[in-house]
């Protein structure tokens, strides 16, 4: 007696890469993690060349820096950056608020809230210390206020 269908094909296990993102507070982003915080527009997205055949299907995206809110990098005149992503890719033409760190020649989004997409004219953030829904202008103002508060608390005033 044969049980089951011997010719049935087993589905191949081929999971999509997933990230278990860290979560940071606004203070951690600014004091510890972020090299650059900016409003960006995605110019183009390309496949990242694989060095090893087992490498993930990563993408490299050119981001136009529309407005820089925070910059710890020595080069203050940058206009575009190259974003390296392995999952949850940005889309060409879309606008985002991004918290980025630089490693080598590439930038990487930081944590669960490192990439916030413009949706209905607003950026919705869950970052502790600056959570809410903001237009770009509103967020920029609130960001400036929060950075000043951090500077004051860090200097002991």
pLDDT in tens, 54-96: 777 899 999 999 999 999 998 778 999 999 999 899 999 999 9
**How many domains are contained in the chain?**
1
What's the CATH code of the domain at 70? 2.40.50
Dihedral of CA atoms 128, 129, 132, 135 in degrees, nearest 10, equals -130
Residue 15 lies in a domain: no
Asked whether the whole model's pTM tops 0.75, one would answer yes
Domain with 33 in it: 26-154
Q: What are phi and psi of 151, to 5 degrees?
A: -60, -45
């Amino acid at each position: 007696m044969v049980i089951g269908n011997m010719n049935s094909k087993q589905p191949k296990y081929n999971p999509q890469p997933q990230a278990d993102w860290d979560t940071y507070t606004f203070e951690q982003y600014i004091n510890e993690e972020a090299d650059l915080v900016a409003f960006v527009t995605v110019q183009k997205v390309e496949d990242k060349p694989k060095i090893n055949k087992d490498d993930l299907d990563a993408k490299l995206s050119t981001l136009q820096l529309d407005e820089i809110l925070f910059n710890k990098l020595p080069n203050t005149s940058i206009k575009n950056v190259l974003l390296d992503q392995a999952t949850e890719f940005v889309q060409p033409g879309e606008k985002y608020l991004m918290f980025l760190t630089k490693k080598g020649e590439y930038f990487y989004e930081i944590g669960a809230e490192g990439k916030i997409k413009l949706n209905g004219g607003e950026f919705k953030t869950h970052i502790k210390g600056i959570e809410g829904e903001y237009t770009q202008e509103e967020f920029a103002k609130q960001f400036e206020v929060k950075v000043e508060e951090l500077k004051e608390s860090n200097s002991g005033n």
